[in-house]
Amino acid sequence: MATIQALLARAELPDSPSARLDAEWLLAAALGKSLSYLRTWPEREVPAESAERFAADLLRRRQGEPVAYILGRQGFWSLELEVAPHTLIPRPDTELLVETVLQLLPATPVRLLDLGSGTGAIALALAAERPAWQVTGVDRVREAVALAERNRLRLGLANAQFRQSDWFSELAGERYQLIVSNPPYIPASDPHLGQGDVRFEPRSALVAGVDGLDDIRRIVAQAPDHLQSHGWLLLEHGYDQADAVRELLRRRGFVAVESRRDLGGHERVSLGRLP
């Protein structure tokens, strides 16, 4: 039997800053151990069954499949979430939405809406941080709603719920103090759609028309009908779309319009409040 150290040394993955960590995550999962176990006991032998699983998972990764889909899980905020190929993989930049919402509203009871929930990452992070809040997440894809609900149940968050809705289509007459969304915002012609992990993610969760703003336009247009007076709308968008999104918000009557920067210094979240 090969050792942990030997298997990692022989692991062949495309050259990238995360190649070694990707291999460690896959071997840890095959062993049912933590990363710290691998690093503490590199001389331990790996059972044949675990080595076979590791080899199979390495092959999937070499073919470009994201580690999160191979493992079936991804960390976001303080949570570990189940993920699947019919949902977007939660990313660290999206935590800026969570941070901003937590800054805007008090910890007292309020009703929030998360549009396009996917795994439920944003809604569940907010529900975990603010037990007094009632957070509703909606998604057009039935499988995504079921996945988000499984995450909710596993995390034991009774103050969140998930429903199927194409944006606001099933929310007639409902109003919230805040609406948050990480909608599709990539232009259909963007060459990055054929590169890296996004090749494996659902295009419906990524692409929004010629300029990437189709879904954002729809949300901005309809959001005031579902916000209470002085309610907030927060949107994640592309690194070069902040000016356009701020203009859309202002034209729809939002005030206190601004953008917030992500970890890379890009304007990634724009927000506005109803008068």
Name the architecture of domain 78-273. Answer: 3-Layer(aba) Sandwich (3.40)
Query: Which tokens hold the place of 145?
Result: 């709603």
User: Which residue has better confidence, 275 or 1?
Assistant: 275
Give residue 200's pLDDT. Answer: 62
State what percent of residues in the chain have pLDDT above 90.
77
CA of 165: how far to CAs of 68, 120, 140, 213, 215, in Å?
26, 14, 5, 20, 14
Q: What is the pLDDT of residues 163-203, one digit of tens each?
A: 999 999 999 999 999 999 999 877 776 666 556 666 666 66
Give residue 187's pLDDT. Answer: 74
CA of 36: how far to CAs of 1, 2, 3, 25, in Å?
21, 19, 15, 11
Give residue 243's pLDDT. Answer: 96
pLDDT at 205 over 70: no
CA of 262: how far to CAs of 94, 123, 237, in Å?
8, 19, 11
The whole-chain average pLDDT of the chain stands at: 92
Return residue ranges of the chain for CATH 3.40.50.150. Answer: 78-273
Please state the rounded mean pLDDT for residues 221-237: 97
Give residue 195's pLDDT. Answer: 63
Q: What is the pLDDT of residues 3-53, one digit of tens each?
A: 999 999 998 887 777 889 999 999 999 999 999 999 999 999 999 999 999
Angle formed by the axes of helices 48-62 and 19-31, nearest 10°: 140
User: Which residue has better confidence, 18 or 161?
Assistant: 161
Q: What is the pLDDT of residues 84-118, one digit of tens each?
A: 988 889 988 999 999 999 999 999 999 999 999 99
265 CB-near residues (< 8 Å, 6+ apart): none
Contact, 57 vs 26, CB < 8 A? yes
